[in-house]
Structure 1
Amino acid sequence: MTSNQVSACCFTGFRHEGKPVGEVKAIGEIRTYFSYPANNNAPERAVIILSDVFGIFTNSQLLADDFAANGYLAIVPDLFAGDAMDLGDFEAGKIDIPEWISRHGTDATDPIIDAVIRHFRDKLGIKKIAGAGYCFGGKYVTRFLVDGKLDTGYSAHPSFVADGELAAIKKPFSLSAAENDQIFTRDSRYKFEEILGHTGQQYQINLFSGVEHGFSIRADLSRPENKFAKEQAFVQALGWFAHTLI
């Protein structure tokens, strides 16, 4: 594995302040949060946010709104078919992590992402699609960086990415990493860099000091180092998409 399996740090975090401005609609049977750029109901570029284990909740919705404010149609599909986690469940002892993970492998998750991409291409006429993956979703950005799927990808502190998945990418890839991360460790970063160097694709790896796994989407933003890193990771994704979606 280029990054480790999900563990307790993937099931904890902080809810961010703000009121989402988008709406929840359906793509087939897939519950999906949509956020459109202002005064543009038919954008040609889109960002699919492949979420952490908390799925469609305030933090991921606000992130989609931020992408929309920068000109993209941004969506958060429910990767878990109604089985996403709630903040506080882990501390309350309500989660059996291995059992939950067993319900959400590639056989269950890949078809959801495939259906969303087909909807964008065939129904909405989206010409360029970026994937932004966080923790759990980082694996699936990697899996879908192939011809006819995602056109470019960004991941923050990805979980359980296999070496072969990363080696198979055919599109540009950008990564944000935390200094203190038991899932995406220092060795993982070095392995990522080694494999990416053999893919022939453009890549970028940014490391943020003083922060932990999950910093880009569910960190405690009252800590200045978390707030800075979260905001700069978003700027990294924006810059990467502007550079590679041409």
Structure 2
Amino acid sequence: MQFFAFLSLLTAVRAAVVPAVGSSGHFHSPVPLDAVPQGKNITINGVLTYVSLPKGRFDPTVAVLLLTGELAPSSSSSQGSGADQWAAAGFATYAPDYLNGDALPTGGNVTTWAVNHGEAQTTPPLLAVISALKSHGVKQIATTGYCFGGLYTTRLVQNNTITVGTMAHPSSLNVPTDFELVKAQSHVPVEINNAELDTGFTPPLAVETDGVLGDGQYAPGYLRRQFDGVGHGFAVSLALSDPVQVAAKQGAFDTSLAFFKKHLK
């Protein structure tokens, strides 16, 4: 499967590279959660995956694929809370460990870590889980990616592998090249939640993305929402004592949820 067949057709010379922001670049650090994980870790097509299912009836032909950032393994109980939130909204949710059991440790060097976590290493486990879901009757995959996961959401959008994609404070992208590729060959709706204080996907880069996909230029559907007063990582971690952070995290989830519901058939 030539997952990146068309990438060589576009040049990245004039593109700005969105950095993979390390732990020191996050506006706030993840905090331990007291909630008991509602899902469980299972192996899907050889890939450890945190799976959380709704308590009530749900459509088994629709799945949310949650792609975590570089700081947290998808299969950890702390990251399970994100998948559990999507399950509580009525979606069977799958968070594959596409980092191959080697998330960036807190305080780790993201540049060194990235050497062994390029697309050649992380794409195969991701595609393995997607293939398994489709072979078991999943017909629509709504993908939400955070930080590093925003890159892979974008790749899945570019290649029309999923039904709808959202992302928050994405990293490791080329702007505007990656979104020009989306515009050129995709039919997948895209939504982005960005942060005013992000040191990676900065507001100017967000506006540049609007210049490619906004104002009706991207027919499948495009939405971007900026959250002020917060920085990189705001959609996955927060200081519970800060109402701005609490509202931003919930707002990003609500925005993505509404976008999924609008574009899932």
CA offsets per residue over residues 211-240 of structure 1, 9 Å max, x none?
111000022222110000001110011100
Find out whether 1:189 has 2:189 as its counterpart. no
8 Å contact from structure 1 (residues 16, 58) kept in 2: no
Q: Deviations over 1:189-214 (max 9, x none)?
A: 11111122444331000011111110
Unaligned 5+ runs, structure 2: 1-14
2:17 and 2:64 map into 1 onto residues whose CA distance is 23
Q: Distance in 1 between matches of 2:256 and 2:103?
A: 24
> Of 55, 73, 76, which residue of structure 2 is paired with 1:55?
73
In structure 2, the residue corresponding to 1:67 is in which secondary structure? helix
Which of 243, 252, 256 aligns to 1:233? It is 252
Change over 3 Å in CA distance of 1:2–1:130 after alignment to 2:
farther
The verdict on how the C-alpha distance between 1:245 and 1:42 changes in structure 2, with shifts beyond 3 A counting, is closer
CA gap of 1:241–1:96, structure 2 versus 1, over 3 A, is same
Number of matched pairs: 239
Report the Cα distance in structure 2 between the residues aligned to 1:24 and 1:132, rounded to whole angstroms: 19
Q: Any idea what SS the aligned residue of 1:33 has?
A: strand
Question: Which residue in 1 is equivalent to 2:170?
Answer: 158
**TM (normalized to structure 2)?**
0.84
Q: Which residue of 2 aligns with 1:143?
A: 155
Runs of 4+ residues deviating >3 angstroms: 39-42, 197-200
- Determine which of 37, 42, 54 is the counterpart of 2:54: 37
Q: Is the 8 A contact 2:165 2:190 kept in 1?
A: yes
Q: Residues of 2 paired with 1:3 and 1:239: CA distance?
A: 29
1:25-75 residue CA offsets vs partner (Å, 9 max, x unmatched): 001221100001114486121110111111223442111111111111101
Q: Does the 8 Å contact 2:194/2:203 carry over to 1? A: no
Is the partner of 1:210 in helix, strand or coil?
coil
